[in-house]
């Protein structure tokens, strides 16, 4: 697994397929930041659904790999896995829209002046489209208020490519790639 040195400023995006180590690397970055700068002003946005497929946990919270300090602000999305939970494209988009609504509330409630932001499964809020969607610029704009931000995001064809949820997720991923100072591909 590559090392993700976390400079005192800047943005990083960690991408890869399921179970590649994105969440673990983000947790290591969080731990490194807290060890160097403390937990004051740290914001953790955890958007990962927890889904078991063929006996393997896909996704999952940062707390699998680290303890989020009590001083940090933590927003956790009880996320749906739209592609796995919806039997039709319409059902999957409905689940994605519910994720987007709840994620908007979490980001709106986050502290106005973060020092560092860590986002687990950053594209989950952006899988819906149209008026139900959530603009990735809201998340990147929030992260830009901090000195440093680390986001991770799923990047693979393993869950689909032609369905609306996958297309929306790829568009959000491209926006995150353009925003990030550094991209780490696992």
CATH number assigned to the domain comprising residue 93: 3.40.50.300
For residue 81, the enclosing domain spans: 10-185
Pair type for strands 116-120 and 148-154: parallel
5 part of a folded domain: no
Do 39 and 66 touch, CB atoms closer than 8 A? Answer: no
User: How far apart are alpha carbons 14 and 110 in whole angstroms?
Assistant: 22
Cβ burial of 137 (10 Å; 0-12, 13-18, 19+) is: exposed
2 part of a folded domain: no
pLDDT, residue 96, reads 96
pLDDT, residue 2, reads 58
Task: Pull the structure tokens for residue 44.
Answer: 């953790």
pLDDT, residue 184, reads 93
120 part of a folded domain: yes
3 part of a folded domain: no
How remote is the C-alpha of 3 from its chain's centroid? 19
pLDDT, residue 60, reads 87
pLDDT, residue 57, reads 64
**H helices, E strands: number in the chain:** 5, 8
69 part of a folded domain: yes
Using CA atoms, how far residue 182 sits from 7, 10, 110, 115, in Å, is: 11, 8, 24, 18
> Other C-beta atoms within 10 Å of 129: how many?
16
4 part of a folded domain: no
pLDDT, residue 50, reads 81
49 part of a folded domain: yes
pLDDT, residue 9, reads 82
pLDDT along the chain (186 residues), means of 10: 66 93 94 94 95 70 96 96 90 96 97 97 94 93 97 85 92 97 94
46 part of a folded domain: yes
| Total domains, the chain | 1
User: How far apart are alpha carbons 176 and 165 in whole angstroms?
Assistant: 16
Task: Pull the structure tokens for residue 19.
Answer: 């179970």
């Amino acid at each position: 697994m590559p090392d993700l040195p976390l400079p005192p400023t800047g943005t990083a995006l960690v991408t890869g397929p399921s179970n590649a180590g994105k969440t673990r690397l983000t947790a290591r970055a969080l731990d490194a930041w807290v060890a160097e700068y403390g937990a004051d002003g740290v914001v953790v946005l955890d958007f990962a659904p927890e889904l078991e497929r063929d006996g393997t946990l896909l996704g999952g919270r940062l707390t699998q790999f680290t303890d989020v300090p009590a001083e940090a602000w933590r927003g956790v999305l009880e996320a749906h896995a739209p592609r796995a939970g919806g039997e039709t494209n319409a059902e999957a988009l409905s689940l994605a829209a519910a994720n987007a609504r709840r994620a908007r509330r979490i980001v709106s409630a986050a502290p106005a002046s973060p020092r560092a932001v860590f986002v687990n499964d950053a594209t989950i809020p952006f899988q819906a489209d149209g008026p139900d969607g959530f603009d990735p610029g809201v998340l990147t704009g929030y992260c830009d208020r901090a000195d440093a931000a680390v986001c991770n995001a799923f990047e693979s064809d393993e869950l689909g490519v032609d369905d609306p949820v996958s297309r929306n997720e790829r568009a959000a991923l491209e926006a995150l790639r353009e925003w990030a100072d550094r991209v780490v591909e696992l």
